[in-house]
Amino acid sequence: MNDIVRLALEEDIGSGDITTDACVPADRQARGQFLAREPLIVAGTEVLAQLYSDLTLHKRDGEACADGDVIAEVAGPARLLLTRERVALNFLQRLSGVATLARRYVDAVAGTKCRVLDTRKTTPGLRALEKAAAAAGGVTNHRMGLFDAILIKNNHISAAGGVKNAIEAARSTGLPVEIEVRTRAELREALANGAAHLLLDNLSPFEAADWIREIAGRAKVELSGGITLESVRDYAETGADYISAGAITHSARAVDISFRLELL
């Protein structure tokens, strides 16, 4: 069992599920259904597989559900199904919420060349699950953490002593380098020093389009900074290659999923 899932069970059950143990005979068997209560994109079924040994999936991660669709069925001791219900729902609702919002972002930029990226703005401890959910919704995973890709941001530039210093030092690693630029002067300095991937942050769509015209294909361009579901299409139409949206993970609403139990 995944450590995060184990911790979630320990947090909820503690010394024991006193309500279930008091009300439900130990030998009673049951089955239950996880039901979508609104249109959604499923994610988090890997957690269900860790919580239940008798599991039948009717929907896979990335598949769409209508209101009333059965996502999964489980069977086993009634006490186990009841005791693990809330942990299962917490994961499934949260992760399906991320996948559902991710799909909305992807649909909003359909027909452009722009790809939507997730970010590191995830719930502590849940990054792998939330990024898997974002991918299930159709976005492209950006770096998993600080260890697997170089992204020079404004504070790195300040600490390194400038754009040129930061790029030259990062290039010595042999890894691809992405750099955030804040001004036109930094943009030109980055291009002059061979930057192949630029991050433009907190520009309006009009400003971004103007900067991208100057870049003229000399580097890949990622836009970020407060880009919402309502504005993402305008940013995608600037000619950007990528848009990163932290909201996909940090602001996704948990979707409505219920659990219905019946005795065998």
Give mean pLDDT, residues 113-117: 98
Active site residue 86: yes
| Mean pLDDT of all residues belonging to the chain | 97
pLDDT band at 176 (very low <50, low <70, confident <90, very high): confident
Contact between 168 and 194 (Cβ < 8 Å): no
One CATH from 3.30.930.10, 3.40.50.300, 3.20.20.70, 3.90.950.20 for 140-244: 3.20.20.70
- Please give the backbone phi and psi of residue 179, each rounded to the nearest 5 degrees, phi first: -135, 140
How far apart are the C-alpha atoms of 146 and 101, rounded to whole Å? 25
Query: 21 an active-site residue?
Result: no
CATH code assigned to 3-103+253-263: 3.90.1170.20
Domain ranges of the chain: 3-103+253-263, 140-244
Q: What average pLDDT does the segment 30-38 reach?
A: 98
Contacts of 254 (CB under 8 A, 6+ apart): 93, 94, 97
Say what angle helices 127-136 and 85-108 make with each other, to 10 degrees.
50
User: Known catalytic residue: 164?
Assistant: no
From the candidates 201, 234, 237, 256, which is the catalytic residue?
Answer: 201
**Res 1: pLDDT:** 85
Sign of the torsion formed by the C-alpha atoms of 247, 7, 59 and 127: positive
Residue 140 is classified by DSSP as: B
